[in-house]
Structure 1
Amino acid sequence: MPLYKTITINETTTAYFWHITEDVTSLFRAVSLSDASLKRLEGMKSESHQKGFLAVRMLLQYLDFTDNDLTYDAAGKPHLMRKPERNPITHHPASITQHISISHSHEFSCICISDEVIGIDLELLKEKTLKITSRFMDVNHLQGLSIADQVAKATVVWGIKESIFKIKNEKGISFPEHIFEDKFDIEAGKCTAELHFNRQIEKFYVQFHLIEGYAFVFSKILM
């Protein structure tokens, strides 16, 4: 299946979605993997994880990147190298790092590319999430909502916390103790949130979309 959907967050930030309809073999044959990625793939026991991993590479390939353009730092955070560009002064090619965040869930993989530091999360909407809401959010935020809206809101809240965690990527951050979403309505499609950690408070802009039974959440730091 080709690119399924794009969402333009702002003029320098776009999210790309791949609907995974292919089997593992078809995806594997369609991409070119680095030695490091091939080793990671071979270590995955779950077919779902294998598909999600390969679909991310399909998205990169669709955007004219290679698997070698995707690198990971010591903390496991991904970074994307743009194609070499000519420096107008020296006329020598120079690679420029772009920010990328990656997520996949069941039948979809997603990457978001930006000039800013960003985090994304993609989650399947399921009632089972309601059984664990007290572990990661203020359940009062679900009062007065239908079951369907409770599921959607709880899933978005999880996505908010996951996406912010991806931005900071620091040990010790707790979803219920350190990341707090401000009150919001699902219909609004956006909100703000705060991270209280290491004696600092950081504010985040959040945008979210419900897509084909999934919640997609995007976060960035508010300066």
Structure 2
Amino acid sequence: MPLITIKKKDKYIYGVWRITENLNSLLNQIRLNKNDENYLSQISNEQRKKQSIAAKITLNQISDKKIYIEYKENGAPFCAEYKNISISHSNIFSIALISDEIIGIDIQHKKTNIKKLKSKFINKRDYNKSFNEIEFLHHNWCSKEAIYKTLNNLKCSFKTNIYIENQNTNFSQGFYVNDDKKINFEINHEKFENYFISIAKKIL
């Protein structure tokens, strides 16, 4: 089964799906509703369709019940069964998380050009030279993506509104700052094969 891992934590559960199937094989593993069909009809790239379907299957597997995903105007997924779901995908992996708290998840494949991209998302408060720069940059990018998914369409620039501090290979602290608004996050980092995962939990 391509669901390669399920991890259960105190506040959330997530699963990772390795996409080895063709599109029809994935479609045979799930019953789509009208919202699903409409959403998929807007995706022209077959790999993106497979990623989306694999994430839906993963949600059903980790929750042991049928989940019907709906989408907010900003494209963020939600469902009636849980207060919070978060979905991400990169290349051959899809990842999905369920929780009753505000948590975002992101997965990223190791990029060969990450150093060239860092000026787009790294700021002075982020920087940490205490460990491998490539890993630092990937975890930082993942962390900011995970935080962004919790913001519910708040104005956001990765470089000027999101800060990652005290970052190491397993944990960091994140902050969203915009004028007088500040939101704190606890972030856990994981890595497997050539993929990086960050899970950002909003601190209430």
Same topology, TM > 0.5: yes
The higher radius of gyration belongs to 1
1:175 aligned onto 2:158: yes
Give, in angstroms, the shift of residue 171 of structure 1.
4.3
Aligned length: 202
Indicate the SS of the match to 1:133.
Answer: helix
Point out 4+ residue stretches in structure 1 off by more than 6 angstroms: none
Written as runs of structure 1 = structure 2, the 5 A alignment for 1:157-196 is 157-186=140-169, 189-196=170-177
Describe the superposition over 1:107-144 as per-residue Cα deviations: whole angstroms up to 9, x where unpaired: 11111111101111110012211111011013782647
Describe the superposition over 1:27-53 as per-residue Cα deviations: whole angstroms up to 9, x where unpaired: 112211111211221221212201101
Distance 1:51 1:180 in 2: 32
Which consecutive residues of structure 1, in runs of 5 or more, have no partner in the other structure?
83-96
- Equivalent in the alignment of 2:108: 123
Q: Compared with structure 1, are the counterparts of its residues 202 and 98 closer, same or farther at alpha carbon in structure 2 (3 Å cutoff)?
A: closer
Distance 1:203 1:171 in 2: 15
Which structure has greater helix proportion? 1
Describe the superposition over 1:30-77 as per-residue Cα deviations: whole angstroms up to 9, x where unpaired: 211111211221221212201101101221332333352x22233332
Q: Is the 8 A contact 2:123 2:160 kept in 1?
A: no
Q: Is the 8 A contact 2:15 2:96 kept in 1?
A: yes
- Equivalent in the alignment of 1:212: 193
- Equivalent in the alignment of 1:88: none
Indicate the SS of the match to 1:194.
Answer: strand
The amino acid of 2:5's aligned partner reads K
Indicate the SS of the match to 1:65.
Answer: coil
The amino acid of 1:163's aligned partner reads A
Distance 1:191 1:102 in 2: 21
- Equivalent in the alignment of 1:47: 46
The amino acid of 1:78's aligned partner reads P
Which consecutive residues of structure 2, in runs of 5 or more, have no partner in the other structure?
none
Describe the superposition over 1:74-94 as per-residue Cα deviations: whole angstroms up to 9, x where unpaired: 333222323xxxxxxxxxxxx
1:65 aligned onto 2:65: yes
**TM-score scaled by structure 1?**
0.83
Distance 1:64 1:143 in 2: 43
Distance 2:17 2:72 in 1: 25
1:132 aligned onto 2:113: no
RMSD: 1.9
- Equivalent in the alignment of 2:37: 38
Q: Is the 8 A contact 1:122 1:214 kept in 2?
A: yes
The percent identity for this pair of structures is 26
Distance 1:131 1:181 in 2: 19
Q: Compared with structure 1, are the counterparts of its residues 126 and 113 closer, same or farther at alpha carbon in structure 2 (3 Å cutoff)?
A: same
Distance 2:123 2:37 in 1: 41
**TM-score scaled by structure 2?**
0.90
Q: Compared with structure 1, are the counterparts of its residues 48 and 57 closer, same or farther at alpha carbon in structure 2 (3 Å cutoff)?
A: same
- Equivalent in the alignment of 2:12: 13
